[in-house]
Amino acid sequence: MMHQALLVPEVILEIFAYVNTIPSTQTSTQKLFAGLARTCKIFYEPAMDLLWVEIHELEPLLGCVARLHPLIYHHSRTRWNEPWAKDVEPLSAHEVHQFLRHSSRIRTLDIKSEHPHLLSVIPAEACIFPKLKSLSLSTTYLNHFLPHMLHRCHLLSVDEGLQSFVTRCIALEHLRIYTPEICDGDSTADELSPLSDRIHWCTQLVTLACPMLDWATWKHLSSLPTLLKLRIEQGCNDPSSLSKRDIVNLSFLNITTLFFQELYDPKDIITVMQHSQFPSLKEFAFEANYFFSEQAEQLFHALSHCRTLEEISICSYDDEFMGNDGSLTPIPHFLCFTQLRTLKLMLNNFHIYLDNDMLLQAMSSWPHIRTLEIDDSAFSSEVTLRGLFTALGLCPQLHTLQVPIKIATIDIDPDAEPIQHTSLRSLDLESSEFQIADAEIIARIISAWLPCIDQVQNLYGLSWVEVNRHLRSLRAATAPHVVGAS
């Protein structure tokens, strides 16, 4: 006899929502909901809604078609590298009903396979997923899959299908367009033109991720009060350049997150930063294959005007390129960020200058800092142990620290009363010195001052291995003994 509480729809939905959050190692969540749907009529509808709420690829829907089911779920009948849909006849009008049996339940759809010929019988702009909220696909399918209330869309190509995209998705809030294949030299500007034109029609965007844009589109985005997060994924060896004659100063009043990734040439991005204001910006990330020291200093200077920043990550990866002199001094530019929580500087082939005074000034300017990672490719530093521990006393919330350090001499008394820093959990000390003055003394100092550090993460050279060996011994000696342990 079923409990009366299970006759209340709200109770069933609450129970099923809980089931959806339970991690299962033996039975997948989908199998659980499939089993619940077969249990009784009362469970069927809510279980099926949750079973079909998120779909990856079209195979689950095409598998509802009797003719296609064995082709999809019995791959042994074809060669392993032969697409199952090759030479398969399109759906008939009767089979479309089978295909659409559960389409109204789907909220999230992710399609990367190419079977558009199977849906040729379905009229264009049929909107076969009326309740879809999130979409990731090639524009090959765009006409079929664009409900008016779509909120999130990830497009894998740019073509004439974008026209439908802007006229039908009036409620679009989250858009990502990642198309590295369009960046092939001379065709780049022509291929990206429809992208910029169509984005002008998006007036309710909250987040946007796309290739580099022309200045007219930057101006449009600056006028959107809804836009909070912007990610530029350039991904082009020969990207189009901004027209200098069109550039004017812009203000993005509400953007809180700004990411620039996969940059082959950062000069246009730096131009955008130099001619834009971001009064609400809290998170900034910049990843380039390479950039020169002059460009880096320009970026640091432009960034220093964004006083509200809390998280900064700047990376360059290509070892074959370097700046004019290979040396950078970014820290003074960032002292104005009094709310800074995270700073990551990973700049290959650049020496990032840092000494005791600069580190002390930085920590006194960043009382809320939790993560500080400075990757100095030259492993050269003027920061000593004394300077390091003095600065640590000014940032009680620091959790992760990576800095270059000078350890040829020990300038701190290992027997002095330590001022313990109890929040630090990860310590990475870079040094070009192969010989440490006394590994045991350094281990004693780290053990006394940093009680939550069990090892120094960066193991360049045998010296740090020796420090960590002594550190483990000290931790083991001070660990509480377990009564009755064998």
- Whether 374 and 322 share a structural domain: no
- Whether 237 and 188 share a structural domain: yes
Looking at every residue in the chain, the average pLDDT score rounds to: 81
> For 208-246, what is each residue's pLDDT tens digit?
988 888 888 899 999 999 999 999 987 655 555 677 777
pLDDT of residue 96 exceeding 70:
yes
- CA-based torsion, 266, 269, 275, 276: positive or negative: negative
Report the pLDDT averaged over residues 32-55. 85
Contacts of 30 by beta carbon, 8 Å cutoff, 6+ apart: 51
Give the CATH number, domain containing residue 252. Answer: 3.80.10
Domain assignment of residue 473, given as a range: 359-479
> For 318-336, what is each residue's pLDDT tens digit?
655 444 457 889 999 999 9
Q: What's the total number of domains in the chain?
A: 2
Alpha carbon dihedral 453, 456, 458, 462, in 10-degree steps, equals -160
Give the per-residue pLDDT at 24: 60
* Residue of higher predicted confidence among 115 and 57: 57
- Whether 179 and 263 share a structural domain: yes
The domain boundary residue, chosen from 353, 376, 393? 353
- Whether 433 and 335 share a structural domain: no
On whether the pTM is more than 0.85, the answer is: no
Residue 457 falls inside a structural domain: yes
> For 170-207, what is each residue's pLDDT tens digit?
667 888 876 655 454 444 455 556 667 778 778 888 99
- Specify burial of residue 3 (Cβ count, 10 A radius: 0-12, 13-18, 19+): exposed
- Whether 334 and 400 share a structural domain: no
- Whether 276 and 317 share a structural domain: yes
Name the percent of the chain lying above pLDDT 90.
Answer: 35
- Whether 364 and 259 share a structural domain: no
* CA atoms in the 13 A half-sphere facing the CB of 104: 4
pLDDT band, very low/low/confident/very high, at 339 (cuts 50, 70, 90): very high
Q: How many residues does the chain have?
A: 486
Residue 162 falls inside a structural domain: no
- Whether 285 and 334 share a structural domain: yes
- Whether 343 and 475 share a structural domain: no
Residue 9 falls inside a structural domain: no
